[in-house]
Amino acid sequence: MLNFEGQVAIVTGAGRGIGRATALALGRRGAKILVNDYGGGFDTITPGSRDVAQAVVDEIVATGGEAAADASSVGTGESAQAIVDAAVKAFGRVDILVNNAGGSRPFHDLDQDSDEAVEGVLRTNLIGSMMLLRRVWPVMRAQKYGRIVNTSSNTVLGQQGMLAYVAAKGGIIGISGTAAIEGRPLGILVNTLFPQAYTRSVDETAPPGSMEWFRPHTPELVAEGVTYLCSRDCNASGELFRIGGGRFSRYGLYGNTGFVDAALSAEMVAERVEEGRDMRNAEIIPDAAYDMMRFNKALAADWQDDITPGQKG
């Protein structure tokens, strides 16, 4: 069994669903848990109660673990600092951050929800995760150790009726990639999660009765994969994992070879577009620096004959 003895984890949105399952999984393996959950609705605006977080604390304590409850609502720098301070006050350090808290609204056409509702979804899913990452960073940097898992969603590939949620979850991929680059030399590893589980989010966003087939995809099956990403055994960073239903797999952004011609024109693209779209020799692009190197290398192969002596950098 993976051992988390002596480690402290913050799990946001840990009162229910995947967050709760993750807090329990880490707690069973010896981690001390700050259970954060404002206790309100998945819509991000319905008021909540501390009782939701406390119930999970009670579960962890009942099995011999250590945990503390926090009912702060994520979404601001001030609340992020309060959450980190609560963990440090209770347990003296923070080794793990699982940015699980999130929320959305029922399906809407992209211009139909209110601006206030859109901003609420962005705060909860994106700003909250980014601020918590920023506030926990100095603690992990001083320790020269940390594990961070940020929760995105496969809806970033395109999902009707969830524009704000999709925008927020797409942003998560970007902040994770940047944090992974800065964190590796500090001993801080950062990965991103596409989860798949039957939770209240399914009941509150999907048409009634349409997702019954999904029930075997339990939160616990996601939590076990997340627990590995939080462990000392994990050496991956800057990667994206699709976890759910017993499946653990890596996803990524890929780029193909395409074609290069210094005389590129719209008409040429029309003639060669399938060559530009061909993904048979595509490779994963881990970060922007690699993408730029790869892009410039492809250009140089075609442009070098047009460069006069002294022009090469």
Active site residues: 165
Owner of token pair 């290069």: 260
What tokens were used for 139?
């603690």
* Beta strands across the sheet bearing 96-99: 67-70, 32-36, 8-12, 96-99, 146-151, 188-196, 240-244, 247-251
Strand ranges, E, within the chain = 8-12, 32-36, 67-70, 96-99, 146-151, 188-196, 240-244, 247-251, 254-255, 283-284
Can you tell me the distance from the alpha carbon of 217 to that of 196, in angstroms, rounded to the nearest whole number?
7
Can you tell me the distance from the alpha carbon of 299 to that of 292, in angstroms, rounded to the nearest whole number?
11
Contacts of 210 (CB under 8 A, 6+ apart): none
Closest CA to 153 of 286, 242, 226: 242
Can you tell me the distance from the alpha carbon of 14 to that of 12, in angstroms, rounded to the nearest whole number?
5
Long-range contacts of 201-204 (CB under 8 A, 24+ apart): 201/17, 201/42, 201/102, 201/103, 201/104, 204/41, 204/42, 204/43, 204/104, 204/106
Can you tell me the distance from the alpha carbon of 276 to that of 255, in angstroms, rounded to the nearest whole number?
10
Can you tell me the distance from the alpha carbon of 1 to that of 174, in angstroms, rounded to the nearest whole number?
32
- Sign of the torsion angle spanned by Cα atoms 151, 130, 187, 185: positive
